[in-house]
Structure 1
Amino acid sequence: MPLENHAEFKLSITKALGDQLAAALEDLVPAPLTLENINALRPLPGVYQLRKGEELVYVGKADRSLPKRVEKHFRKISGRTNIDIAEMSFTCLYVDEDFGAVAPERLLINSHRMRGEVPWNYNGFGNNDPGKRRDTTEVDEGHFDRDYPIDLDFKCVERPLGPTRLDGSVSLSSLLQAAKQELPYVFRYESSKAFEDIYVSYPEPPLTAHDVLMSVSESLPPGWQITALPGYVIMYPKVEEYPSASRYYRGPDVIDVF
């Protein structure tokens, strides 16, 4: 057989970069996912990995600040059931801004996906508020929100929410705004000017998410409903059923869905 004097050669620079990023992260020792460890990070762009036990479950990037991005995941996981934040650990790699054009996150995902890793990159873990159109859809099996639903017993408030009056009450408007910030998951609601003139009395902190939502619900005008969905909470001036709801708050009534 005659020897060929020519052949094709394909150089995959992006694959090489992805493999190098993965190797650099694997050289690091995972740290527990705690606020202390997160706050020790420098506010620089980069890539990171999340582990659940020994399993590599997610890789992501931070365009500006690694600690801000990783803390967002800390809050999300802390407010979920079926998972303990103590199971979680992370590693981070500060990445030169010149890497931005080659999408280091995608390089890492592709590198680990071929090994059957990073399942949370494909189950909705990194999603933000899915929007009102998704409220009435049923959450699929294997979705992060279905496997790890929100924890309504999560202790989220350690101090009074909003400015209080002499009698200890707070305006419903202030309470809603503060609750939106304090809850470890999305709380989407329709606002109303009437909320500024409604004052709410609630127990002394610490409060659970349920305590806050119960106080809000008892103070709402008739016809309003708070709905706990697998991954977030919504509040609208309409009483209706949702296929994936786990709990409804209707005035003083709490209805659990089994």
Structure 2
Amino acid sequence: MTGYVEFEFDLPGALLSRLITILDDLQPAPLNAANLSNVPEEQGVYQLFLDDRLVYVGKTDAEAGLHKRLTRHARKVMYRVGLDPMRVSFKAVRIFVFTAMDLESDLIRHYGGVKAIDWNGSGFGSNDPGRERDTTKIDLGNYDAKFPIDIDREVAYAIDAGEMAADALARLKEALPYTFRFESKGGRSRKPHPDTELTPLAALTGPVTPREAIRHIVASLPKGWQATALPGYIIMYREAPRTYPHGEVIAVSGD
């Protein structure tokens, strides 16, 4: 029969091919606040580089656009042993028609798979793993194992005389570029633990290291509190004495 033909356009393949060309032609920029101020909170994909070597491929989701994602990653590379944030750069592409295709997996596959891209599959993009994961042993290839948090680097933080421990802890949590999780009232309540609500602190002049600040706070709490530094975050619970794989006890109250 003449006058008829079937045509199937490979939209996913065409989009991926064009996207790869755009990414490869784009010059990476340092992952810092000044450069991220020009990145909109829109849908798209991005890449991270360490010393100009591709280490992470990511995409946005319904909860966070390009700006929020990259800002979170910029904090993730701060205060890490063996990692200067200046070594990390990024590329980002806004996609106006963001389809349901799994562009992240396609891009990872194009650039050699997870084994060739160090930070994909290493826990780099994860949020706080939660209490149930605190005792899990960390693989040596994990991002936090390669670049553990530096709790001995000074931060802009101080404590006023008479400030309650609960308030000091909340402010320290905001000041740190990594997770600092501590015991609350319990259950589903987000209210502070009574011990921290009722404990006034002595003054502490800043800047100080997280280790110094936490030791200062814990020293004033009732007996049984313990602060532990894990490779990627710090926890503080009324559980002393307790050991964790790869954990370093920072402070114990009542010692």
Asked if these proteins are the same fold (TM beyond 0.5), I'd say: yes
Distance 2:65 2:211 in 1: 32
Partner of 2:165: 172
8 Å contact kept, 2:40–2:67: yes
- 1:243 maps to 245
Aligned residue runs from structure 1 range 102-141, under 5 A? 102-114=101-113, 117-141=116-140
Deviates more, 1:238-247 or 1:13-22: 13-22
TM-score, length-scaled by structure 2: 0.85
Judged with a 3 Å threshold, the aligned counterparts in structure 2 of structure 1 residues 25 and 221 are, in CA distance, closer, same or farther, namely same
Correspondence for 1:50: 48
Does residue 196 (structure 1) correspond to residue 194 (structure 2)? The answer is no
Q: Aligned partners of 1:211 and 1:39: how far apart in 2?
A: 33
Which residue pairs with 2:234 in the alignment? 233
- SS in structure 2 of the partner of residue 212 of structure 1: helix
* 1:6 alignment partner in structure 2: none
Does the aligned pair in 2 maintain the 1:172–1:200 contact within 8 Å?
yes
Report deviation, 1:228: 0.3
Residue 144 (structure 1) aligned with residue 143 (structure 2): yes
Separation in structure 2 between the aligned mates of residue 216 and residue 224 of structure 1, nearest angstrom? 10
- Structure 2 distance, partners of 1:234, 1:35, is 28
Partner SS state of residue 89, structure 2 = strand
Identity %: 37
**SS of residue matched to 1:206:** coil
Shift of 1:62: 2.4
Q: What is the alpha-carbon distance in structure 1 between the residues aligned to residue 203 and residue 19 of structure 2? A: 50
1:114 and 1:135 map into 2 onto residues whose CA distance is: 28
Contact kept? 1:56, 1:118, Cα under 8 Å: yes
Using the alignment, how far apart are the partners of 1:224 and 1:188 within structure 2? 13
Equivalent position SS for 2:56: strand
TM-score, normalised via structure 1 length: 0.84
Q: For the residues of structure 1 that align with 2:222 and 2:206, how far apart are their CA atoms?
A: 25
Instruction: Note if 1:35 corresponds to 2:28.
Output: no
Q: How much does 1:36 deviate?
A: 0.9
Q: How many residues align?
A: 238
Measure, in 2, the Cα distance between the counterparts of 1:39 and 1:252: 46
The separation in 2 between residues aligned to 1:66 and 1:20, in whole angstroms, is: 19
- Secondary structure at 2:120 match in 1: helix
In structure 1, the partner of 2:5 is none
CA distance in 1, matches of 2:94, 2:35: 15
Q: Find the counterpart in structure 2 of residue 85 from structure 1.
A: 85
Secondary structure at the aligned position of 2:81 is classed as coil
* Equivalent residue letter for 1:172: A
Structure 1, unmatched stretches of 5+, are: 1-9, 254-258
Bigger proportion of residues as helix? 1
Alignment match, 2:60? 62
Point out where structure 2 has 5 or more consecutive residues left out of the alignment: 1-7, 185-192
**Bigger mean CA deviation after superposition, 62-71 or 83-92:** 62-71
